[in-house]
A = this chain, B = another copy of it.
């Protein structure tokens, strides 16, 4: 190979890993799955690397299955993080020493930090079905409420911000909720999901009218019973129409 080209490759080698923002919805709260690094109090998003024979999409399916036990999961790329200071929030003590102890002195060398680019994927997981398992670096998994997320390692707080933004955008052209709600749900539960994602209160009547206009909901003959108030109707998504709306995207409505 042309030596000029080898030099060029060496000067430009950046390598890729994956980080996952796994959202779950439970008791009216949007949550994110975080991992605690071995022997520290530092939390991060779950992630991993891509095997040579895998595509990035294969790798993320594998990583999610390893962390949550779930196979059928809504997944999409939301942003790739290619900054040069992604590791600035690496604690100089504690975690770093712990990692060096576990993996060797040059585990966190500066070159690695400058070379790593991370593909951010977001996943919508069925909270009730997920069985969480920590990875090689970590010894605890926990669902954190969006509003209570601590300071995370690396650029992982920014990752969650970006994933939330992507989720909000998605509401403007695709339906949401199939993977986040139980099979049968009430209109107030669906509204609560939208409100949690958007971070604001919505008008009850307008919300119901808009949702029904999308023609993706099936109203069930049953009602939710047991509450103190008037029993609300139950709905479920018409999967065929829902999938079609996902495909078609609700675009610029001139």
Contacts and interface: CB of A to CB of B under 8 A. Distances in A.
Contacts of A229: none
Contacts of A12: 17, 49-52
A249 B171 CA distance: 12
Interface string A101-142: 011111100010011010100000000000000000000000
A57 B82 CA distance: 7
B14 A50 contact: yes
Interface in A200-229: 202-203, 206-207, 210
Interface stretch (A1-9, A27-35, A87-95, A145-153): A1-9
A250 interface: yes
B57 A251 contact: no
Nearest to A197: B252
A1 B104 contact: yes
B15 A104 contact: no
Contacts of A107: 1, 5
Interface in A18-70: 49-59
Contacts of A104: 1-2, 5
A36 B41 CA distance: 53
A11 B84 CA distance: 24
Given A77-B80, A173-B172, A105 B1 contact: yes
12 contacts: A2-B102, A11-B52, A50-B82, A50-B117, A54-B84, A55-B82, A56-B83, A59-B82, A169-B173, A169-B249, A171-B252, A206-B254
